[in-house]
Amino acid sequence: MLEFSIFILLPLLTAGFCYFVKDLRIQYSISLAVAVLHLGLSLLVFLGLYHTQLPTFFSVDSLSKFFLLILSNVYFWVVLVSFSYLKRPVMPKAEEGKKYYFLLINFYLTANSAAMLSNHFGMYWVASEATTLSVAPLIYFYRNEESLEAMWKYLFLVSVGIAFAFIGILLLTLSAKGTGLEGKQLFFWEFVRNAAQLNPIWLKASFIFIFVGLSTKIGIAPMHSGDIDATSNAPSPIAALMSGSLRLTALLGVMRIFLIIRPTTSYEFAKILLIIGALLSLFVAFVFMFKVNNYKRMLAYSSVEHLGLISLGLGVGGLAFIGAMYHAFYNSIAKVILFLTAGNIHRSYKSREVGKVYSVLTRIPKTGWLFLLAFLAISGIPPSGIFFSEIKIFEGILFSDKPYLLAIVLFFLLFIFINMGKIIFNMLYQKGKDEKPQTGTEKFELTHFISIVLLILLASVAIASPEILYKNIISITKDFGMNL
């Protein structure tokens, strides 16, 4: 029960503690301690040094412990930077948002951990809804009209999506009618073992509703708009948390139903649906990059692009599936760096509009160089891990039964890179109108330190290619019945 206490109960109790204790420094200290414990235990479980014994409705498999490690890693860095972020001056009405910040992110950790460790569709659905409720008030952190609109749009669209997912779960129960699963609990592995008995029509309908519903949280087009507004208006640490971990929590639900459908005649149908969603996401990101006017929104669309690539890898399968799993890990790290440095730019220029940001390398050089390196990393420039994961995805597509997809994907990625690069280089190098010479230098802050550490981690993990990471991803691949 130790693992259940640290993964779920402790963050929940800490959220309650933060409600009664108003001192932000104390809230930060206890939240950071919880984040360290969560990351430490997640790493031990991932390395196989600690074997879990979770209660009913929860269990650990290769996929859940991999995604749990990603969640823990992203969460730790976000909590670490949070206190320095909250010390920054904000508008008086935004001070209210600081009071509930640590309460909500601890509740976020509880809900996401429960979703990732759940082995029951009902439990997963409840935990997934809780993740929405935990993050929505954080989107409204600044207490302005834009953030209010983004919060309500996110709540509405994601709630509709969660309702769709609930219908998908009900349809899954209908697919079990007349089988040994009828009237039994919705335990995930029971459905996997008895998948061949399920009604293929209801199973297809279930996959459609779950995939479309959870796409509102994953950011898969055309269900991406609520997530885009939320990510671009949320505080930078929260945007990093959403892009780095929350999307994967939703993707986990899609992968669970995808695994059930694998041994059935509906498998090809599900793969095609994933590929269509992935290509639509790449197309949407491709179109948006031609008319960028908000750099945080640009980063949100970059998340749509990369979740599209991950979904494409899942749909194609084989080596592309392995690449998609690596990509999920590397993308989560890169997004933390991008959003933290974007937050520094926002603080310095008091604007998210691209046209109002100029000479970043002159005015805030430390942030500027890190922002540039993060852009190169997310674009797949070696030695970034993104380069290696994308190569695996491309190779998997090339040797699949749909090699023509590679030409489409590379076309989209080329213009996304060109247009995103054009905007970022203008922000970094272009001189502003009537710009006055800047004096003084930018102070070295915690965000800079974290960005440097994560850039090193992004490259070193890719170069070292730890065997334990490879074995876990191969184990996930085997669970999905893929032979390489």
Q: What is the pLDDT of residue 92?
A: 73
How would you write the pLDDT of the chain (484 residues) with one tens digit per residue? 788 999 999 999 999 999 999 899 999 999 999 999 999 999 999 999 988 888 889 999 999 999 999 999 999 999 999 999 998 877 777 788 888 999 999 999 999 999 999 999 999 999 999 999 999 999 999 888 899 999 999 999 999 999 999 999 999 999 998 888 877 788 999 999 999 899 999 999 999 999 999 999 999 999 998 999 999 999 999 999 999 999 999 999 999 999 999 999 999 999 999 999 999 999 999 999 998 899 999 999 999 999 999 999 999 999 999 999 999 999 999 999 999 999 999 999 989 999 899 999 999 999 999 999 999 999 999 999 999 999 999 999 999 999 999 999 999 999 999 999 999 999 999 887 666 655 457 899 999 999 999 999 999 999 998 999 999 999 999 999 877 6
Domain assignment of residue 153, yes or no: no
Q: What is the pLDDT of residue 95?
A: 80
Least Cα distance to 342 among 308, 290, 304, 303 occurs for 303
Between CA 322 and CA 325 the distance in angstroms is 5
* Sequence-separated (6 or more) residues with CB below 8 Å from residue 210: 164, 165, 168, 169, 172, 253, 254, 257
Between CA 98 and CA 237 the distance in angstroms is 13
Q: What is the pLDDT of residue 57?
A: 92
Domain assignment of residue 338, yes or no: yes
DSSP H or E stretch at residue 480: none
Return the amino acid letter for 421: G
Domain assignment of residue 152, yes or no: no
Domain assignment of residue 286, yes or no: yes
For the chain, what is the domain count? 1
Reduce the secondary structure of 337-392 to three states and give it as a string: HHHHHHHHHHHHHCCCEHHHCCCHHHHCHHHHHHHHHHHHHHCCCCCCHHHHHHHH
Domain assignment of residue 107, yes or no: no
- Count CB-CB contacts under 10 A for residue 331: 28
Please give the model's pTM, rounded to 2 decimal places. Answer: 0.95
Q: What is the pLDDT of residue 180?
A: 81
Domain assignment of residue 408, yes or no: yes
Q: What is the pLDDT of residue 374?
A: 97
Q: What's the domain range around 454?
A: 275-484
Domain assignment of residue 453, yes or no: yes
Domain assignment of residue 432, yes or no: yes
Between CA 225 and CA 289 the distance in angstroms is 15
